[in-house]
Amino acid sequence: MTTARITDSHCHLDFPDFDAERAEIVDRAVAAGVHRMVTICTRLRLEPQVRAIAEAHAPVFYAAGTHPMSAADEPMATVEDLVALAAHPKFVGIGESGLDYHYTADSAERQRQSLRVHIEAAQETGLPLIIHARAADEDMATILTEGHRHRPYACVMHCFSSGAGLARAALDLGFYLSMSGIAAFPKSRELRDIFAAAPLDRILVETDSPYLAPPPYRGKRNEPAYSVHTAQVGADLFGLDLAEFAAATEANFDRLFAKAAAWKPAA
């Protein structure tokens, strides 16, 4: 579909939505120019299944953490747990972690505790932190900034859909903003403006599949191949053609996810 090379920096290939055709999903992504995918484990007890997907498919890398919406239901992760997982050659990020006060505000304190654990793991491993943020902009900016002031770390604000203030706080820390299908929705003009105002060298592309399919697939199951459509929206925002925008986001991914960029398949 395109000769541009794109990385889907955030998807959930272990979710049951993909059980019937996981290998085909990966193949379709590669055929569409999506030559790498990072599949995200959201509950550490499921890490073995997510790891197995990355091991089975050369284009797939993985990350693991405790999603903030699961923080109240899962055992508290430890820094030691996350550092141990990071020894795997295809484990390339810490998270997703973060704060979600939209659905799970009742567990806010436990979410904040969990987030600080994940920040420390990112600091210890040198791997990028992967952040989920919803309806918690002020606390998120405060905790990320305090942690970075104590000891710098790298980070991506995954599926960024928060306000301009949190975007600026993240960018000021040297962090990255990841563009999902939300940015392609017709009513997301304000969000597109936030991305357009950001430096091009801080933008990533993702699907967050199976969720948030961009047009023309909105309302259907999302999959990594569809990140091409979000990338086209990004290209339009920056006044670039798709190949130019894809090349920029590839360079950004390689810089942030240096472990994935350096990985070589076994001979």
pLDDT reading at 266 higher than 90: no
E strand spans, 139-224: 155-157, 176-179, 203-205
Count other C-beta atoms under 10 Å from residue 74's C-beta.
16
**Can you tell me the distance from the alpha carbon of 60 to that of 76, in angstroms, rounded to the nearest whole number?**
27
Q: Where are the domains of the chain?
A: 6-262
**Can you tell me the distance from the alpha carbon of 117 to that of 76, in angstroms, rounded to the nearest whole number?**
9
- CATH for 6-262? 3.20.20.140
- Rounded mean pLDDT of 133-140? 98
Query: Which residue from 23, 110, 33, 125 is spatially nearest to 71, judged by alpha carbons?
Result: 110
Per-residue confidence (pLDDT) for residue 2, from 0 to 100? 53
- Rounded mean pLDDT of 110-114? 98
Q: What is the mean pLDDT of the chain?
A: 97
pTM to 2 decimal places: 0.97
User: Which conformational region is residue 235 in: left (phi greater than 0), alpha (psi within -120 to 50 degrees), or beta?
Assistant: alpha
Per-residue confidence (pLDDT) for residue 1, from 0 to 100? 45
- Per residue in 38-92, pLDDT (tens digit) is 999 999 999 999 999 999 999 999 999 999 999 999 999 999 999 999 999 999 9
- Rounded mean pLDDT of 149-163? 98
**Can you tell me the distance from the alpha carbon of 179 to that of 143, in angstroms, rounded to the nearest whole number?**
22
- Rounded mean pLDDT of 221-239? 97
Query: Which residue from 111, 182, 123, 196 is spatially nearest to 155, judged by alpha carbons?
Result: 123
Per-residue confidence (pLDDT) for residue 265, from 0 to 100? 84
pLDDT reading at 221 higher than 60: yes
Given a contact cutoff of 8 angstroms between Cβ atoms, the answer to whether 155 and 235 are in contact is no
- Per residue in 114-126, pLDDT (tens digit) is 999 999 999 999 9
**Can you tell me the distance from the alpha carbon of 183 to that of 167, in angstroms, rounded to the nearest whole number?**
14
Asked, as a colleague might, if the bond just before 210 is cis with ω within 30 of 0, I would say yes
- Rounded mean pLDDT of 215-223? 96
